[in-house]
Amino acid sequence: MDQKQQPDILIYMSDQHGADYCSWGNVQVDTPVLADMAAHGTRFSQAYSPCPLCVPARMSMMSAQLPQDTGVYNNKFTLSNLTPCFTHSLVEAGYETVLIGRMHFIGRDQRHGFTKRLAGDVTPVSWKKPFGKIAKERGKTVRAFSPEGSTELVGAGDSIVTDYDRYVLETALDYLSEEHEKPQFILVGAFGPHSPYITSPEMYRKYLRPESAPSFFREEELPAYLREVPALNARVRPASLSEEDALACRAAYLGLIETMDGQIGELRSAFHSFSEKRGHGAVFGYVSDHGDMAGERRMYGKTCFFDKSAKIPMLFEGTGISEGKTIDSPVSLLDLGPTVCELGGTVFSTKDARSLAPQLCGQDGDSERVVVSQVMETLPELGACAGTMLRWKNYKYVVYHRAEDRALLFDMNSDPLEEHNLIFELPELAAWFSEKAAAQADFSAMEQQFRQSQHTAKLLEIYEGAAGFDDTERWKDNPPSSRAENLEIVAVDRLQAGGR
- Residue pLDDT, tens place only, 156-202: 999 999 999 999 999 999 999 999 999 999 999 999 999 999 999 99
* Containing structural domain, residue 203: 3-368+474-493
Q: Is the predicted pLDDT of residue 3 greater than 80, yes or no?
A: no
403 contacts 229 by C-beta, under 8 angstroms: yes
Residue 465 lies in a domain: no
Residue 158 lies in a domain: yes
CA dihedral 139, 141, 145, 147 (to 10 degrees): 130
- Quick one: which of 350, 278, 355, 317 has its CA closest to 6? 278
218-240 confidence digits (pLDDT tens): 999 999 999 999 999 999 999 88
Identify the band that residue 438 occupies on the pLDDT scale cut at 50, 70 and 90. Answer: very high
Q: Is the predicted pLDDT of residue 366 greater than 50, yes or no?
A: yes
- Quick one: which of 482, 438, 428 has its CA closest to 153? 482
Residue 402 lies in a domain: no
Q: The domain spanning residue 251 has which CATH number?
A: 3.40.720.10
CA 72 to chain centroid: 15
- Kindly report the average pLDDT of the chain as a whole number: 95
**How many structural domains are present in the chain?**
1
Residue 426 lies in a domain: no
Residue 289 lies in a domain: yes
**What's the CA gap between 468 and 139, in Å, rounded?**
25
Which letter does DSSP use for residue 105 in this model? -
**What's the CA gap between 252 and 255, in Å, rounded?**
5
Tell me the three-class secondary structure of 156-202, residue by residue. ECCCHHHHHHHHHHHHHHHHHCCCCCCCEEEEEECCCCCCCEEECHH
Residue 389 lies in a domain: no
Q: Is the predicted pLDDT of residue 498 greater than 60, yes or no?
A: no
Identify the band that residue 212 occupies on the pLDDT scale cut at 50, 70 and 90. Answer: confident
Residue 346 lies in a domain: yes
Identify the band that residue 4 occupies on the pLDDT scale cut at 50, 70 and 90. Answer: low
pTM for this predicted structure: 0.97
Residue 467 lies in a domain: no
Q: Is the predicted pLDDT of residue 497 greater than 60, yes or no?
A: no
pLDDT at 19: 98
Q: What is the mean pLDDT of residues 68-76?
A: 97
Angle between helices 243-278 and 160-176 (to 10 degrees): 10
